[in-house]
Structure 1
Amino acid sequence: MGFPNWFVVAFLSWVFFVSSTHQSQTSQSGVLLQIRKQLEYPEALQIWENNTGDLCNLPSTPHMSITCQGIFVTELRIMGDKLTKVSEFSGFAIPNQTLSESFSIDSFVTTLTRLTSLRVLSLVSLGVWGPLPDKIHRLSLLELLDMSSNFMFGSVPSQLSRLVNLQSLTLDSNFFNGTAPNWFDSLSNLTILSLKNNRLKGQFPSSICRIRSLTDVAFSHNELSGKLPDLSTLTSLHLLDLRDNHLDSELPLMPEGVATVLLSNNSFSGEILEQFSKRNQLQHLDLSFNVLSGTPPSSLFSLPNITYLNLASNMLTGTLPDHLSCGGKLGFVDISVNRLIGALPSCLGAASDGRLVKVGGNCLSSDIRNQHPESYCKAAYKEKKNSKGKEVWVLIGVIGGAIAVVLFLLGILILCRRCCSRRTLEQHTVPKVVQETPPAGISSELLANARFISQAAKFGTQGAPVYKLFTLQELEEATDNFDKSMFLGEGSLGKLYKGRLENGTYVAVRSLALFRKYSIRNLKLRLDLLSKLRHPHLVALLGHCIDDGGHDDSTVNRVFLIYEYVPNGDFRTHLSESRPEMILTWSDRLAVLIGVAKAVHFLHTGVIPASFSNRLKTNNILLDEHRIVKLSDYGMSVIVDDFEQLEGKDDSQKSWHMTRLEDDVYKFGFILLESLLGPIVSGKGEAFLLNEMASFGSQDGRRRIVDPIVLTTSTQESLSIVISITNKCISPESSTRPSFEDVLWNLQYAAQVQATADADQKSDAMSQS
């Protein structure tokens, strides 16, 4: 008996559907396997190896997840272990960290675009390198794109503006080096925009101000310059992070609901606007290392939600009112290195409910030890006022001259009109003369705050690493049983090995032999102190391992310290380096010196008890992949020396305390010297350096001994400032040596002088071209 026609048609349709569905499913799995191959089989995708049939049903791991809707992949997240590291190969591709030279980012993106239903794409730390192709726009349904911590360079492709469904765009920690795009307003649904840690130039993109949905904007650690526009239109903005750029306008207007504003290490000028005092949702405000002036609004300290307020290293003047009120949530205040005078308000005093307050480097009467005399701040204020007075007279002169010229021309015109029987004179107006803000003040230098963890942490932002107790077995596995191939060197503090932890993180393991036996309890107390020394310019101590050798007497004479691995070499090596891409200019050296000074200043004043004798040498100053300075071997006096808190001790111990403090200043003086003299000091001792210092007194002497790279990349004024502070640091009389606060201020001023000169030179070159 034959089947009816309708049944045959239905059966054939079902067969075709099942067949096409299977083919589609196979096709999607094939694309994923091709992606795995192009990424050169990362460890995160090892789970795919024996599950090539249906990858949609694989369980998620911390490094990989796939989400499917039906048979189509809608979300793909992969996190690798190829951390961003700068080295050779055109300044971008790194043999040990990027994918191989055979990798093609164009082919890779072409493969990705075959996942036509993709809404979420996160490819982090996978070693992807090359210019991001325009064809990325073919993933038209994308709502989240995160390709951070890779090695992509060139311009951010304009075709990204066609991804109109995009809600989150994160391209942090790459090498994008074109002008910051100004088409972001095409992405009208965008809530998170983050391009931190790149090399983007030009002005802040004004198109961003037209995206009302934005909650997070982060362009920190780039090279943006110029004016920051009015941001009050960003009514949903929660986080603004523009640290470490070259922005030089007055502070812009901010939206009322903003919670975190990070504008440190720029060149913002003018006064702190009263608008900040009305931002009741504000929790974290960092305006440090700019050139802001005037007296900070007192209501800023009493905002209901403010927890962190950093106004350090500006040109703030005046007196804080006695009745100043601090908000109940305010836990950290830094107003150090300004020009403030008068008494410190009680809410910022010593008994301030556990609040951490930094006030050094002002002229306040309540903290004599770390303050300048009041005349210092008044003189600076008077000088600034006189400077403004001169500008006013110049302005009056200009206007007066303009009026005289106009009157002269007017007289001629009247005479001509009388002679020629012309019509009555028309009214003329004198154009308004606009006064420009003169460049002045402190350097914009990097000061990332380790206490701050971004509100966007769920999108990949990482805070400070957690301190951990390691076992000896873990360290043996990480170092291949302390194999010779992992040996990095040996010094007075023991042997140093490179290691790789189970999660792929590279570390440096120091085997420290103790000169005296400690009880395990005593040693743990000391290590606990050392673990609390956390700062952006300190090599992070990740943990320790106590080796008691199996003894039963509860004593120990060896300990392993596990640090973050900083792969880009030490300062001494860079000073001696002749390869063009590794040479440090004068501005580069100032940035390194400022970072070290900040770290040591923190060790002296930012922790209790303070850490002195921090083994300051150029080969203990490391540079990371972004040339950010990291000080190593600090705080060892906590372990290798007898360490005591000095409160309530006798005068001899107080004297010992001051000697240790000045020892760091003295040692830092020789770091300054090596920075000035360059490779000629390699292997030379202190006596040689002290002898060479005599040549600084004349121009011919400087030309003879100062590193040619320094001479050709510095101004005389900037160089003289550093030479002066170097002489003071290495003064034979310890009482005449400066504090680290003074050292830091002078270095920042030298950097600002140099930056201003470089900007002027660049401007002149552009105008001539």
Structure 2
Amino acid sequence: MGYLCMLLLVVLFIPSTNALQTSQTQVLLQLRKQLEFPSSLQILESYDGDFCSLSSSAHMSISCQDSSVTQLKIMGDKPVKVSEFSGFAIRNKTLSESFSIDSFVTTLTRLPSLRVLSLVSLGIWGPLPDKIHRLSSLELLDLSSNFMYGSIPPAISRLVKLHTLILDGNYFNESVPAWLDSFSNLSILSLKSNGLKGQIPFSVCKIKTLTNLALSHNELSGKLPDFNTLTGLHVLDLRENHLDSELPVMPEVLVTALLSKNLFSGKIPEQFGNLGQLQHLDLSFNHLSGTPPAALFSLPNISYLNLGSNMLSGSLPNELSCSGKLGFVDLSSNKFIGGLPSCLSSNSDQVVVKFGENCLSIDSQHQHQGSYCEEAIKRGKQSKGRNIAVVVAVIVGACLVMVLLVVGALLLCREFRSRRTHEQHTLPKMVKENIPAGVSSELLANARLISQASKLGTQGAPVCRLFAFEELKEATNGFDSSRFLGEGSMGKLYRGRLENGTSVAIRALSLVKKCSNQNLKVRLDLLSKLHHPHLVGLLGHCLDGSGQDDSSGNEVFLVYEYVPNGNYRTHLSDSFPEKVLKWSDRLQILIGVAKAVHFLHTGVIPGCFNNQLKTNNILLDEHQIAKLSDYGVFIVTGEIEKFQVKGEGSKPCQQTNVQDDVYNFGFILLESLVGPIATGKGEAFLLNEMASFGSQDGRRRIVDPVVLTTCSQESLSIVISITNKCLSPEPSSRPSFEDVLWNLQYAAQVQATSDADQKSDSTS
């Protein structure tokens, strides 16, 4: 009897599982309401079951343990602000003025078991409240691409389990917190694309677990701390700031260092030549001087080395040794003299080298006279001397100014006191709420960014030049058959090497109808303005016979950058098993191409369509970065009457064909999923096989085994879903390219989390 009584007491005092599930459900519904019913959470409206049993979708992911929510991921449809890859700005919106970020975070804290919280592109605005620390179980926090501003709250440091903190693409505009060393488990810290100011605090270098540090696209300045203490740091991204110190010693395990577009000065440390794991080093657009360490070029893993646009000088030794993995070197726009070492010479097919705008004894057409480099170095030394004198003068002047300021402050103090009470009653509400400098009330009210499309191609874009036909003949050895790369609907393609050593791809186009050179040049000028990191760069063009009668322009040669790593289709084929890409790599390639096509549709006015979207028109560079080729060629080859010079109102691209690009991109997605089975098969075959995606057995039969063994099921389902939509027979049912891009990015995020979890499990 005693045993039965005890058992009854235990049963009576077990917490109600159903009650707990109801509580969690109410919290999720409240969050949906506070986020103003985003489409991402639409399923919650009609679903009457346990939210923990919901299947993850392309819009949200909810995971539970012991009837508590442990993972909540929501990606909204509020467009983000300008990114480093987009090339254009789009209209942005926040949640309404009635939104309260304080109330929103309070609601979130009612999910105390949350380990993963990702709220991206939801239009959340306001200063992030301190109470975020109440989510004490958090291991990953991603609030990127929203509109939070002010300072990063110190209370976040109390999230001791946090291993990933991502706050990219917001408007935080104070300094980088000095308390970051409070994190004992943090491995990824990403604060890119904000307005952070001041120096990088030394406390960052006390986070011994840090592997990735990304602070690019901010307003940071001053001296770099000693990153050498971060013995596990693999990725360092500090691009586009105002950092102005000499370069410090770097961790020995560093793999990627992106330090371009700052104000770094002095010599490149010799220690950089000992970074045996380094693969990617970008020091371009700084004020570095001296001769770079020769060992940089022979690092065992170095593949990308960009030293362009500095004040580097001296001569590189002819016996310089180059790493077998080195694929790209940029020495351009410096003060180098002498010859180019043999391993970097134009005779090498293994490495792409840019060396123009120096004083080298080769390629005189693209080099300065030796006196130019000598004079520039001399001016730099004189400027340094003048700077010292200026500093002394500034110090003396500052002392005098301080005296005057003290006197002025005493005089103003009395008047300020008399006005203070009156101002407290007249300041508008928005000023009282401590809106930081640099964030206008208009931005918070409307949250929109002005389009930058008019500036397209003006920053960092190569100059498109007019080539003489003789130059192209020489570059291709008279269009020799050994330089022939192939022929398609867009004409014949040849590989060439220009006089300065640059490898190029030359497309020979034969126009169906004759057209005046004037009209051709108008269209080529438009094509030359299409610049994007995921488009094959157009370097120039040649109008064969341009010196003859003005109506004889019947053949056009387009000169593109040479992309050395083949096309995407070959990396999906079983003909080259060593090149076949795993799922996460395919996703990155697809995202890159989707960004490029989205740019062609919306980043230029008018939008450009009919972009020859096929897997063999996606090229991969030496870093596996995707670049779309044969885009916009319709501008040149289309019907002549559609391209007559008619002023600003003309529309050289048919905007009605946007859904054709979506449909064709759907086939690229399909080939990415099925891999070798697509080789040599027609459109009808692939469309028929799509029915197999509906079951697990069907997927195992048709999906590429490489994909099946390297993907998470959730990530795979997201891509299958968007593929089906792209290939819808009804154009009106197909998604926009913005939707396609969003889904691919979400799939990549899901896959990255799955990979990280597997790595963590295997380590454990």
Task: Give the structure-1-normalised TM-score.
Answer: 0.52
Q: 2:81 touches 2:169 (CA, 8 Å); kept in 1?
A: no
1:525 aligns with 2:490: yes
**CA contact under 8 A between 1:126 and 1:150: conserved in structure 2?**
yes
Corresponding letter in the other structure for 1:111: T
Aligned to 2:539: 604
Q: Return the offset for 1:113.
A: 0.3
Task: Please state whether the residue corresponding to 1:82 is helix, strand or coil.
Answer: coil
Post-superposition CA distance 1:375-398 (Å, at most 9, x none) = 211222233355668899x89x99
Query: How many angstroms apart in 2 are the aligned matches of 1:637 and 1:132?
Result: 44
User: Closer, same or farther in 2 for the Cα pair 1:165/1:638, shift >3 Å?
Assistant: same
Aligned ranges 1:71-86 → 2 under 5 Å: 71-85=67-81
Distance 2:247 2:130 in 1: 35
Rounded Cα–Cα distance in structure 1 between residues aligned with 2:287 and 2:350: 29
Structure 2 counterpart of 1:7 = 4
Query: Amino acid of the residue matched to residue 539 of structure 2?
Result: H
- Equivalents in 2 of 1:193, 1:76: separation in Å? 20
Matches within 5 A, 1:341-356: 341-356=337-352
Q: Distance in 2 between matches of 1:184 and 1:350?
A: 48
> 2 CA distance for matches of 1:314 and 1:330?
21
Alignment partners' CA distance in 2, 1:610 and 1:254: 40
> Of 284, 288, 295, which residue of structure 2 is paired with 1:292?
288
Change (3 A) 1:321 1:133: same
Q: Distance in 1 between matches of 2:382 and 2:105?
A: 61
- Residue pair 1:599, 1:631 contacting (<8 A) in 2 also: no
Unaligned stretches of 5+ residues in structure 2: 83-89, 394-450, 455-485, 495-511, 515-528, 543-556, 562-601, 609-629, 639-764
Q: Is the 8 A contact 1:266 1:289 kept in 2?
A: yes
On the 8 A contact 1:298/1:324 being kept in 2, the answer is: yes
CA contact (8 A) 1:85 1:97 kept: no
User: Take 2:44 and 2:247, find their aligned partners in 1: how far apart are those partners?
Assistant: 51
1:339 Cα shift? 0.5
Deviation at 1:222, TM superposition (A): 0.3
Q: Choose the corresponding residue for 1:384, options 356, 380, 385.
A: 380
Are the counterparts in 1 of residues 237 and 258 from structure 2 also a CA contact under 8 Å?
yes
Q: Secondary structure at the match of 1:232?
A: helix
For residues 124-164 of structure 1, give each alpha carbon's deviation from its aligned partner in whole angstroms, at most 9, with x where no partner exists: 11111111111000001111100001111111111111111
Letter in 2 for 1:30: Q
Letter in 2 for 1:610: V
The runs of 4+ residues in structure 1 deviating greater than 6 Å are 388-392, 526-529, 594-602, 605-608, 629-637
* Deviation (angstroms), 1:56: 0.9
Q: What corresponds to 1:207 in structure 2?
A: 203
Matches of 2:275 and 2:290, distance apart in 1 = 20
Paired residue type of 1:352: S
Looking at structure 1, the residues matched to 62 and 235 of structure 2 have their Cα atoms a distance apart, in angstroms, of 29
Structure 1: which 5+ residue stretches go unaligned?
A: 87-93, 399-487, 492-520, 530-554, 558-593, 613-628, 644-769
**Maintained 8 Å contact 2:195/2:219:** yes
Matches within 5 A, 1:295-694: 295-385=291-381, 524-525=489-490, 603-604=538-539, 609-610=558-559, 638-641=633-636
Measured in 1, the distance between the counterparts of 2:536 and 2:361 equals 21
Residues in 2 aligned to 1:13 and 1:642: alpha-carbon distance in whole angstroms: 81
The secondary structure found in structure 2 opposite 1:237 is coil
Match of 1:173 among 169, 180, 188: 169
Contact 1:232–1:255 (8 Å) recurs in 2: yes
Q: Contact 2:136/2:160 (CA < 8 Å) preserved in 1?
A: yes
2:80–2:92 Cα contact (<8 Å) kept: no
Query: Which of the residues 217, 222, 231 maps onto 2:218?
Result: 222
Deviation at residue 7 of structure 1 after TM alignment: 2.6
Contact 1:596 1:630 in 2 (8 A): no
Q: Secondary structure at the match of 2:353?
A: strand
Q: Please list the CA deviations of residues 48-81 of structure 1 after superposition, one character each: whole Å capped at 9, or x if unmatched.
A: 2333431111111233211111111111111112
Per-residue deviation, residues 60-107 of structure 1 (Å, max 9, x unmatched): 123321111111111111111212248xxxxxxx99522222211111
C-alpha contact 1:26 1:53 (8 A) present in aligned 2? no
Contact 2:332–2:357, Cα closer than 8 Å, also in 1? yes
Distance 1:96 1:597, change over 3 A: closer
Query: Is the deviation greater in 378-387 or in 283-292?
Result: 378-387
Pairing partner for 2:124 from 117, 125, 128: 128
User: Kindly tell me: are residues 107 and 365 of structure 1, through their superposed partners in 2, closer, same or farther at Cα, counting changes over 3 Å?
Assistant: same
**Identity across matched positions, percent:** 58
Q: Deviations over 1:437-472 (max 9, x none)?
A: xxxxxxxxxxxxxxxxxxxxxxxxxxxxxxxxxxxx
Contact kept? 1:84, 1:174, Cα under 8 Å:
no
Whichever residue aligns with residue 4 of structure 2, its letter is: F
| 3-state DSSP of counterpart to 2:185 | coil
CA distance in 2, matches of 1:200, 1:208: 15
Check whether the contact 2:175–2:196 (CA below 8 A) recurs between aligned residues.
Answer: yes
Which amino acid letter does the alignment assign opposite residue 604 of structure 1?
Answer: L
Task: Report SS of the residue matched to 2:229.
Answer: coil
Q: CA deviation at 1:605?
A: 7.6
Distance (whole Å) between structure 2 residues aligned to residue 598 and residue 13 of structure 1: 64
Provide closer, same or farther for how the CA distance between residues 389 and 56 of structure 1 changes in structure 2, counting only shifts above 3 A. Answer: closer
The DSSP-based 3-state class of the residue aligned with 2:8 is helix
Q: Is the Cα–Cα contact under 8 Å of residues 230 and 252 in structure 1 kept in the other structure?
A: yes
Contact 2:531 / 2:537 at 8 angstroms: preserved in 1?
no
Kindly report which structure 2 residues correspond to 1:745-764, keeping only aligned pairs within 5 A, or say none.
Answer: none
Q: CA distance change for structure 1 residues 115 and 341 in 2, over 3 Å: closer, same or farther?
A: same
2:96 matches 1:100: yes
Aligned to 2:33, what secondary structure does the other structure show? helix
Change (3 A) 1:143 1:389: closer
Q: Is the 8 A contact 1:84 1:151 kept in 2?
A: no
For 2:226, give the aligned amino acid.
D
SS state at 1:299 partner: helix
Q: CA 1:343 to 1:308, structure 2 compared with 1: closer, same or farther past 3 Å?
A: same
Per-residue deviation at 1:38?
1.4
Any conservation in 1 of the 2:212–2:234 contact (CA below 8 Å)? yes
The 3-state SS of whatever aligns with 1:17 is coil
- Indicate if the aligned counterparts of 1:244 and 1:264 stay in contact, CA closer than 8 A: yes
Mapped partners of 2:193, 2:368: distance in 1: 37
**Could you tell me how far apart the structure 1 residues matched to 2:76 and 2:99 are?**
16
In structure 2, distance between residues paired with 1:260 and 1:134: 33
2:309 is aligned with what amino acid?
Answer: S
The equivalent residue for 1:194 is 190
Q: How far has the Cα of 1:224 moved from its partner?
A: 0.5
User: Which of the pair has more CA radius of gyration?
Assistant: 1
Deviations along 1:251-302, one digit per CA (max 9) or x if unpaired, are: 0111111111111110000000101000000000000010000011111011
Q: Distance in 1 between matches of 2:232 and 2:631?
A: 47
> 2:313, 2:300 → 1: CA distance?
25
Secondary structure in 1 matching 2:168? coil
Which gives a bigger RCO, structure 1 or 2 (Cα 8 Å, sep 6+)?
2
Amino acid corresponding to residue 225 of structure 2 in structure 1: P
Please, which of 46, 52, 58 is the counterpart of residue 54 of structure 2?
A: 58
- Work out whether residues 487 and 493 of structure 2, in 8 Å CA contact, stay in contact via their aligned partners in 1: no
Q: TM-score, normalised by structure 2?
A: 0.52
The Cα RMSD (Å) is 3.9
